Amino acid sequence: MAEIKVTLPDDSIRSLPEGSTGIDLAADVGRSLAKAAVALNVNGETKDLSEPLSEGDSVSIITQDTEDGLHVLRHSTAHVLAQAVLSIWEGATYAIGPPIKDGFYYDFELPDGVTFTEDDLINIEKRMNEIIKQDQHFERYEISSEEALELFEDHRFKKEIIERVSTGEIDSEISNEVAAEGTISYYKNGQDFVDLCTGPHVPSTGKLGHFALQKVAGAYWRGDEKQPMLQRIYGTAWSNEKELKQYLHRLEEAERRDHRRLGRQMDLFHFQDEAVGAAFWHTNGWTLFRTLIEYMRGRQNDTGYQEVNTPELMSRELWEASGHWDTFGENMFTSQTEDERIFAIKPMNCPGHVQIFKNELRSYRDLPFRLAEFGKVHRYEPSGALHGLMRVRAFTQDDAHIFCTEDQITAESGAVCQLLLNIYSDMGFDDIVIKFADRPERRVGEDAVWDRAEDALKKSMALLGLDYLHNPGEGAFYGPKIEFVLRDAIGREWQCGTLQVDLNLPGRLGATYIGEDGKRHTPVLLHRAIFGSLERFIGILLEHYAGNLPLWLSPLQIVVATITSDADDYASEVVNRLREVGLRADLDLRNEKINFKVREHSLSKIPAIIAVGKREVDEQTVSVRRLGQKGQRVMSLDDATKVFIAEHESRAIVSDGATG
């Protein structure tokens, strides 16, 4: 029998009988690989495992525990979901069902306006498991558009996809339905279930099984509100039961840590329809907000920044000159005055800072020139995109801009990187991913200038010994940037800090300085944010710590609660003493049992509760209970005060982000 030779990822050559598939190759390599295999990569393209191999192919086996393998698993599970729904609901119509991050979804239209319930999800899961146990094979077919229209004659959403494909009207939502060279591909499994798809899929449904259906949501067909509202079932799928359980546990943890729930529980903020996308800060929340600002103000003052404040309302002419009107105008809130001038509420602070820089004649001796502002900005976000403090329309940036020469980029960038890392450490974030984003295809400025800017940023990280990931082509159109991504207590990533080199804005707005040669030069502008949005960073902090903020950050640090009314006067003395030394303390003299008070204040996430009763009065002591810790510690008021002061001033992180 004739043989073919294929090349494996380690450059070894494997000989196989002519007509062999990926299934044969996996079995030839080893039993464990054959068991884990779900798809192929052939010459850089992802294919079904049943794909016949050819002489000279470069082949790698995609296993279920890889990113590509999970994508295939989830895509295949989405098909099984559609198959299960159609087998239960006669007259149901299926639309699209792609894999997504951590899972998949499928959109359906049920007859007579019927909607899915939680009980329905349980029944659908049961039917899916039956299909999986049957180990149905996924078979791929390619046909013409005409044949496809006939095959899916009774499926209006599929027919529309085929028609759009055949006319070349293809968008990202349906791109996975398109086959090569003008044909339409579909898959069949079981006796009669077919679905449009380019694949690949697992060889058979028996490869699946570690999944869970999660929720139902509404979704417009093709995202168009004029189209029918469909019902979307979301699910998740993993390569094994352990990973599935870990993921579901992370979801439970995320729900428990949801900053919106904690905001109510801790009486921090609320939202309402009269100010969509803007927070109403309560006393506790505003105290936390101001604590972060005062902390950042101190760090900036120590590192040479001058704090400024720029107008929130500025004319259209400025935004046109900066370039924001053309690139960001649809996201800006505007107002027109009686003389027909148009003003915009600022969506960012940088043009205002350039105005301060150019208000005086600057010399090279003035550089680097560092400005910082806690600037309130407004950006229009669609209502469907808003999410508590994480995605708002009105927020405050800890914004800063450094005007410098090209020769100063490396030193200034290094100082910014070090400042960011120190601040994140103070906040309890030590697991930080740094990404370097270089020039995009569409950009301003000469390549030689980009070369120098990118090289300066890389040198700044090298001097600090920082490892970073390369994010090719993801820089801003005006310059390269560094992004700082924080990992929280349950492993989620949050992109917060950025450092951007701007080769464009100073020149557009006419900012110059006098160089050593006596001539005017355009400065380089470094954009720097550390928290980014204070609102969003507070949301991240709340979820990272599950509300158990370190004492120095907590809005209310200590509550002194009486056990009996005999201790009221002493409790007042304790609170006054704590307040005198700058601690945020409150008094609870209510006629309630101490266990009730402790439970209530613990739910409000107060870091320390001091209980005082007759014994404490007689001995001039206090009983200290710490949030998340068992038992209590009896100590003198002086000793307790010293402990709290030391913790407050050292910014110690006593609370464990993993507890709550």
CATH number of 72-253: 3.30.980.10
Q: Residue 292 is which amino acid?
A: L
The catalytic position among 14, 137, 316, 379 is 379
User: What is the share, in percent, of the chain residues with pLDDT greater than 90?
Assistant: 80
Class of domain 3-63: alpha beta
Catalytic residue, chosen from 527, 536, 601, 648, is 527
Asked if 20 and 52 touch (Cβ cutoff 8 Å), the reply is yes
For residue range 620-631, what is the model confidence (pLDDT) as tens digits? 999 999 998 988
Active site annotation includes 399: yes
Q: Collect all residues with Cβ–Cβ distance below 8 Å to 521 and sequence separation of at least 6.
A: 364, 405, 512, 513, 514, 515
Grouping H, G, I as helix, E, B as strand and the rest as coil, residue 52 is strand
Domain with CATH 3.40.50.800 in the chain: 558-650
pLDDT tens by residue, 465-492 = 999 999 999 888 888 999 999 999 998 9
Per the annotation, the verdict on 226 as an active-site residue is no
Annotation marks residue 417 as catalytic: no
Q: Which of 231, 397, 408, 500 is catalytic?
A: 397
Tokens in use for 452? 């120098």
Distance separating alpha carbons of residues 234 and 241, to the nearest angstrom: 18
Is 527 an active-site residue? yes
Among 107, 222, 350, 438, the one annotated catalytic: 350
648 counts as catalytic: no
Domain 558-650 classified CATH 3.40.50.800? yes
Q: What percent of the chain has pLDDT over 70?
A: 97
With a cut of 70, say whether residue 171 has pLDDT above it: no
For 579-597, write each residue's pLDDT tens digit: 999 999 999 999 999 999 9
269-544 has CATH 3.40.50.300 classification = no
Q: Which strands make up the sheet holding 306-307, listed edge to edge?
A: 306-307, 369-378, 394-404, 524-533, 493-502, 481-487, 432-437, 469-471
What is the structure's pLDDT at 169? 65
Q: Is the pLDDT of residue 62 over 60?
A: yes
